[in-house]
Amino acid sequence: MKKIIYGAVLAAAFCTTMSCVKADEVDLARVLGHGQTCDHVINLVMRHGINNRVDNYSAGIVHNAGFGPMAISSTDIGDLELMQVTSMPHSDPACGPKFAVVLRNNSTREVCGPRVSAVALLGRIRSTSPTSVVKVEKICAGQSIEVHVQLPVEALSMGNHNGTLVGFRRLLVAVDSFDQFVENNEANNIKVFDLASIPMAATTVTPALSVETSAGQQSASVSSTTPTPATNAMPATAPSVGTAPAADELQSAMQKLNAATPAESVL
């Protein structure tokens, strides 16, 4: 009897424990590499190189899946491509520089959850180089999207030259930086840019709006400083109205004086 009771208690405890068990909500960066390091980018560079130099597949490949090697047709292999990087204006000295990264999905299927990593470089890449990782929720087939990546503020003080802080000089950007997806071209995911060669992103104000605003300001300033023809006519007519009675009085006085002169001459 006691064994039956103990067994029932253990079974209830086991069921209660199993009902409360759930997976830890651990981010991918904490599994494949710490978020504050760029080890995952270093591994990607070691395998695929940079600036479109290696790994340009043109045929089907064999992928090591969980149940063994699996052949993937070239028509089913997608590709994520890094298209453009521009610098965004920032004014907060407590934050690092921000960049806009444009990536494109060159495939027939949508891609969910790829990561984009940006690493600030001063010389060679190191595990402690300032790194930022951004997750993209979804990219539809054939779509191009823009992702904003902001470096840590440590990117502005990576070295010291005669007592002057020296910031990063190059920017490494990696698309699908944790190498989650099989692609037919892995090398177009990783590029290194000289900081001076990265263009500044365009402002959000459209040229048409700025032209209309400037034209409105110009017309307002002209109307406030330059009198209109109607305004010029008013001062011209106002004195004439005031001077007409004075001219009539002077003329009548002269007529009286001329009329009185012959009488005086007779006297």
pLDDT tier at 238 (50, 70, 90 boundaries)?
Answer: very low
Mean pLDDT, residues 245-255 taken together: 64
Task: Please give the Cα distance from 95 to 155 (Å, whole number).
Answer: 10
Task: Please give the Cα distance from 136 to 115 (Å, whole number).
Answer: 6
Ranges 68-77, 220-229, 234-243: which has the least confidence: 220-229
pLDDT (tens digit per residue) in 11-41? 555 454 444 555 565 666 566 655 568 889 9
Task: Please give the Cα distance from 115 to 82 (Å, whole number).
Answer: 12
Ranges 90-99, 157-166, 172-181, 245-254: which has the least confidence: 245-254
**Strand locations in the chain, DSSP E?**
61-65, 68-72, 80-88, 98-105, 111-112, 115-121, 131-135, 138-139, 144-150, 159-161, 164-166, 170-175, 190-194
pLDDT tier at 236 (50, 70, 90 boundaries)?
Answer: very low
Element (H, E) at 126: none
Q: What is the pLDDT of residue 266?
A: 41
**Strands 68-72, 61-65: pairing kind:** antiparallel
The b-or-e profile of 69-103 (16+ CB within 10 A means b, else e) is eeeeeeeebbbbbbebbebeeeeeeeebbbbbbeb
Nearest to 43 by CA among 109, 119, 105, 101: 119
108 CB-near residues (< 8 Å, 6+ apart): 78, 141, 142
pLDDT (tens digit per residue) in 96-113? 999 999 999 998 889 999
pLDDT (tens digit per residue) in 191-200? 999 999 999 9
CB distance 164 to 54 below 8 Å: no
Task: Please give the Cα distance from 173 to 41 (Å, whole number).
Answer: 9
Would you call 121 helix, strand, or coil by DSSP? strand
Share of the chain above pLDDT 90, in %: 35
Q: What is the pLDDT of residue 170?
A: 96
62 CB-near residues (< 8 Å, 6+ apart): 69, 70, 71, 72
Would you call 117 helix, strand, or coil by DSSP? strand
Q: Which residue has the tokens 């109205």?
A: 241
**Residue 217 corresponds to which amino acid?**
Q
Q: What is the pLDDT of residue 90?
A: 78
CB distance 62 to 112 below 8 Å: no
**Residue 20 corresponds to which amino acid?**
C
